[in-house]
């Protein structure tokens, strides 16, 4: 539910995206998140779990 709440806040500011790309983390692999994406008409591609190379842009943004 936290993921959905944050996405709804982002939608209010940025609009609804056509795609949300994530890893296969538990919060994104749940039936609830899949249903949320379907309800909003959002595609949800995922990458290979634990594969930073497949998520290069996201990993770069998280770099400290």
Q: What pLDDT score does 39 carry?
A: 97
CA 33 to CA 61: how far, in whole Å?
A: 23
Q: Is the pLDDT of residue 13 over 90?
A: yes
Q: Is the pLDDT of residue 12 over 90?
A: yes
Q: Is the pTM of this model over 0.85?
A: no
Hey, what long-range contacts does 7-16 have (CB within 8 A, 24 or more apart)?
A: 7/36, 11/40, 16/40, 16/41, 16/42
Q: What pLDDT score does 30 carry?
A: 93
Looking at the chain, the whole-number percentage of residues with pLDDT higher than 90 is 52
Q: Is the pLDDT of residue 47 over 90?
A: no
Instruction: List, in order of start, the domains of the chain with CATH numbers.
Output: 2-62 (3.30.420.10)
CA 60 to CA 64: how far, in whole Å?
A: 9
Handedness of CA 5, 51, 41, 17 (dihedral sign): positive
Q: What pLDDT score does 50 carry?
A: 61
């Amino acid at each position: 539910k936290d993921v959905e709440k944050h996405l709804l806040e982002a939608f209010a500011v940025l609009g609804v995206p056509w795609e949300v790309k994530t890893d296969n983390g538990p919060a994104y692999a749940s039936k609830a998140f899949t249903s949320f994406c379907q309800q909003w008409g959002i595609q949800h591609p995922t990458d290979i779990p634990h594969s930073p190379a497949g998520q290069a842009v996201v990993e770069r943004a998280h770099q400290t």
